[in-house]
């Protein structure tokens, strides 16, 4: 399981700057699927055509788009 988490971290580190530039992206993190496996979670504020360039999986790590509200630091 640690190898999967390490791969998810590597994918996030490699693509995060690019994804943050896409319209509608609010935040990017690492979460878990129903089985407890790591996934990249990209929270979006709204749909945009640019988001279609984000693949469903990179190097075996699923990439999920979740619609939500902006994350506000407190």
Show the domains of the chain with their CATH numbers. Answer: 2-67 (3.30.300.50)
Best CA proximity match to 62, nearest among 9, 8, 10, 3: 8
Rounded mean pLDDT, 3-28:
95
Provide the percentage of residues in the chain whose pLDDT is more than 70.
93
Q: Which pTM does this prediction carry?
A: 0.87
Residue 71 — pLDDT band, cuts 50, 70, 90? low
Tell me the sheet residues that pair with 38: 32
Cα–Cα distance, 70 to 2 (Å, whole number) = 30
Rounded-to-integer distance, Cα 35 and Cα 5, Å: 13
Residue 47, pLDDT > 80, answer yes
Q: Return the higher-pLDDT residue of 33 and 1.
A: 33
Tokens of 4: 């999967």
Query: Percentage of the chain with pLDDT > 90?
Result: 82
What phi and psi, each to the nearest 5 degrees, are found at residue 40? -85, 130
- Residue of 31, 30, 37 whose CA lies nearest to 9: 30
| pLDDT score for 68 | 82
């Amino acid at each position: 399981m640690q190898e999967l988490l390490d791969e998810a971290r590597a994918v996030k580190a490699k693509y995060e700057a690019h994804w943050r530039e896409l319209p509608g992206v609010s935040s990017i993190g690492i979460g878990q699927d129903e089985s407890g496996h790591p996934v990249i979670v990209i929270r979006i504020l709204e749909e945009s055509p640019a988001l279609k360039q984000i693949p469903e999986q990179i190097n075996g790590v699923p990439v999920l788009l979740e619609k939500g509200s902006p994350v506000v630091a407190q």
